[in-house]
Structure 1
Amino acid sequence: MTDRAPLLPPHGEGVAGDRAIQDALQVAWPADLAADDERTLLTAGRDLLRADATGIGRAKWPGLFGPEGQAIAPAYATAGFRIQAAIARRAEGNDRAVVHLVWAGTDRGGTFTDGRITDLYFTRDSKKEAASSWTPQPRT
C-alpha cells in the first residue's frame, strides 16, 4: 500500500465533502506549529475570513477594515457561507504563519461556489508571550 493524499470530493458535494478536504490539507501540509498557536491562528483565521466575506465581526479588526463608519458591503451572504477546511502552518520562520482556508459561499449575484481558497498571514511579536500576540497582516 502506498501513502496517497485522500481524494477530494467533487464540487457541490456539500458538507459531506468537507472532512475529505480537511484530511487532504493535513496530509499535504504536515503540522509544524505548537498546538496552542495552531488553535489560536485557526480561530483568528476563521473569524477574519468570515468578517471579510460576510461583514460579520469586522469591528474586531479595525486595522484591516477601517472604522465602522466606512462599511464596505460584504461580498457573500451569511446564509451559505461556510469554512470547509482550515490549517495553520509556519510561513518563513517562527514569527510568521499562514492560515490556509477552503470555503464555500453565495456571492451577491446569487452564485454559489465551493472550494474557494484564501491564505491569511499573521505575524507574532516575539516580545509578547501571550497567545493573542498573533497579528493579521493586510491582504495585498
Structure 2
Amino acid sequence: MVSALPPQGEGRPGDRAIQLALQAAWPADLSPDDERQLRAVGRVLLRADATGIGRARWPGFFGHSGRAIAPAFAAARFRVQAVIARRGGAADRAVVHLVWAGTDRGGTYTDNRITDLHFARTTSMKDGGATWTPQPRT
C-alpha cells in the first residue's frame, strides 16, 4: 500500500500533502471563522513554545517563572507543515492539531512532529465577544 503522505525529509513540497491528509482524517466541525482564528493562534502559540519568540503574550500558558528559558528550536529553522482545528469534545472547547518541523539546539532537523494545543472559548466582559484561550498543559 502506498502512503498518501510524503516521505520524511521531503521538506516544504510535502507540506500540502500533510495538510490534505489531516483535513481528510478529521472532517471540519467548527465554523470557518473559529477554525481560521484557532489555526492562526495555534501557529503563533506553537512558534512561541518551540522558539521562545512571543511567550510573553501568553503568561497563563507559559507561566511567570521570571527566569529565561532557552528555546529548544532555532526560529529560522522552524515551520508549521500543516494545521487544523476541531471541536474538543464540547461546543466551548477546541483542539488545534499541528504538524511541524524544526532544527533543535543541537543541530538535528526533524519533520512531521505532532503537537495538540487545547483551547476554551471565553467571552470578553468588555465587549461581549467570544475568543479562544489556550489551556495550560496539565
| TM-score with structure 2 setting the length | 0.91
Partner of 1:26: 23
Give the conservation status (yes or no) of the 8 Å contact 1:59–1:68.
Answer: no
The residue type paired with residue 105 of structure 1 is G
Matched, 1:130 2:129: yes
Distance 2:36 2:117 in 1: 15
Between Structure 1 and Structure 2, the one with more helix by share is 1
Which deviations, in whole Å up to 9, do the C-alpha atoms of 1:31-83 show, x marking residues without a partner? 00001111110111001000000001111111122338322111001111000
Residue segments in structure 1 that go unaligned for 5+ positions in a row: 1-5
Distance 2:8 2:57 in 1: 32
Matched, 1:139 2:101: no
- The number of residue pairs the alignment matches comes to 134
Between Structure 1 and Structure 2, the one with more strand by share is 2
Give the conservation status (yes or no) of the 8 Å contact 2:123–2:129.
Answer: no
Partner of 1:54: 51
Give the conservation status (yes or no) of the 8 Å contact 2:38–2:85.
Answer: yes
Give the conservation status (yes or no) of the 8 Å contact 1:95–1:126.
Answer: no
Secondary structure of the residue aligned to 2:96 is: strand
1:125 to partner: Cα distance: 2.5
Secondary structure of the residue aligned to 2:74 is: coil
| TM-score with structure 1 setting the length | 0.89
Secondary structure of the residue aligned to 2:76 is: coil
Distance 2:121 2:41 in 1: 13
Partner of 2:73: 76
Question: How large is the Cα RMSD of the aligned pairs?
Answer: 1.7
Residue segments in structure 2 that go unaligned for 5+ positions in a row: none
The residue type paired with residue 99 of structure 1 is V
